[in-house]
Amino acid sequence: MNDRTALVTGANKGIGKEIARQLGAEGLTVYVGSRDAERGRRAVEEIGGDARLMVLDVTDADSVATAAAQLERLDILVNNAGIMAGGSTAPEAGLEDFRRTYETNVFGVLAVTNAFLPALRRSDAPRIVNVSSGTGSLTWSADPEHPFAVSAGSGAAYRSSKTALNALTLYTAQALASEGFKVNALAPGLRRTDLNARAAGSDGDPAEGAAGAVRLALLPDTGPTGGFFSWDGTPAPW
Ligand code: NDP
């Protein structure tokens, strides 16, 4: 296990930085994805261990290609980078909010996954974790009593981008299942980060959400694939 490598996108702060720290604590070499080199360097210093900077903007094709060319083999890819642009609910949410959000949360994940696939295929136990959201669950969104109900906010662009990410997770898992990949989506729970103003002042510790990603990143060969899980390991409804 000790020569295993992981890449976490958007790991210069928030949940991603905590995922990188926890994977490093498991003895892995962790590539800390950051679109800004200086912010990434600071995070690498804070994370310690065998953390290494990988400059990576998931919406920039050149940046993705340059980053992927650096790695011969990769065991774990955590697609964590995400944005929340615009808080309006449909149909008022602007087309531009949808485009921007999908560019990072959906197309960014697709681009990074495709680019790192050759390196992941050289792993004995390839794992992909897509950091989604409980707001991407259509079942929870449609339930007015649920904390992730549409009426609770978050905006249509963000919610539907995570629903699309969940679909992408399922299709990717099925396509790669015969090659030994485990591909799963995570709902990390409401966490106090720059992205989530709603969780400000709450006890939503990012470390707790990150632990859910680490569990999926370190799944044994008998573990599930093509699933959607809450941070505590319980299955989440699509
Ligand atoms: P933060 O805003 O704290 O962190 C987001 C990270 O993504 C930052 O490192 C940011 O970099 C990076 N990022 C954004 N755009 C890009 C890009 N184009 N290329 C590379 N990196 C990028 O948010 P969280 O830690 O809360 O979010 C992490 C993930 O967790 C997201 O996918 C989010 O949707 C998901 N999530 C969060 C929840 C919460 O309650 N916090 C709940 C459910 C899901 P930079 O610093 O340069 O902006």
CB 19 within 8 A of CB 213: yes
pLDDT in tens, 128-147: 999 999 999 999 999 999 99
Give a three-class secondary structure readout of 46-107: HHCCCEEEEECCCCCHHHHHHHHCCCCCCCEEEECCCCCCCCCCCCCCCHHHHHHHHHHHHH
Residue closest via CA to ligand 1's atom 8 equals 10
Q: Which two tokens stand for residue 40?
A: 């990434």
pLDDT in tens, 168-226: 999 999 999 999 999 999 999 999 999 987 666 667 899 999 999 999 999 999 999 99
CATH number for domain 5-230, candidates 3.40.50.720, 3.40.50.970, 3.40.50.300, 3.40.47.40: 3.40.50.720
Is ipTM beyond 0.95?
Answer: yes
Annotation says 158 is catalytic: yes
Partners of 85 in the beta sheet? none
Ligand 1 cavity residues, CB under 6 Å: 9-10, 12-16, 35-36, 39, 56-59, 80-83, 104, 108, 131, 133, 188, 190-191, 193-196, 199
Residue closest via CA to ligand 1's atom 10 equals 10
Q: What mean pLDDT value characterizes the chain? A: 94
CB 1 within 8 A of CB 71: no
Cβ neighbours, 10 Å, residue 140:
22
Identify the pLDDT of residue 102: 97
Q: How much is the pTM?
A: 0.97
Q: Where are the domains of the chain?
A: 5-230
